[in-house]
Amino acid sequence: MTSSPLPVSRDLAIPREILHFRNYTSQSLATKYYITSTKCDVPGQIVATADGSGGIPEGATLTFSQALQPAITNVTIQGLSGLYVALPPNAISGSKLVWSSTPATWQVNTTQTGPYVIVPKGQDLYLYTGNDIGPIVQVKSGGQIQGKENHWTLTNVD
């Protein structure tokens, strides 16, 4: 008995089953804001968020370089324009995230209660969005995090 080949994406020559689990929305548990992207994003532009109280906003789908696993998953996060979520040069706590043509590696880890924590690989910084900072995403050091402000709901949207 022979099996038929996996359906393949025309552009990427990657099985659809693999692609199927890589597109996510990322919503802050603290603010209910989503990380958003547009086709017009440019390198160096600050990564924005949009209010999710009226549903999933346009541009909220982000492409992760691989499907999330039950443990820590190292990924790059890409927006609609093909740019990547990255730290600015010499990032410190309070730095705003930017779009970059150079991929940055993020560690995505599930918490015991289900939401995810997103950390720039190798640093004591965490993705964060708060009502006090406006519609942007920034990083905070682990020592400054309060409650669940660094927790994100990542939902597959394929």
Least confident of 26-40, 80-94, 107-121: 107-121
Q: Taking Cα atoms as reference points, which of 108, 92, 97 lies closest to residue 144?
A: 92
Does the pLDDT value for residue 2 go beyond 50? Answer: no
Backbone angles phi, psi at 118, to 5 degrees: -115, 120
The label of the residue with tokens 């659809």 reads 16
Fold (CATH) for 21-153? Trefoil (Acidic Fibroblast Growth Factor, subunit A) (2.80.10)
pLDDT in tens, 94-125: 999 999 999 999 999 987 777 999 999 999 99
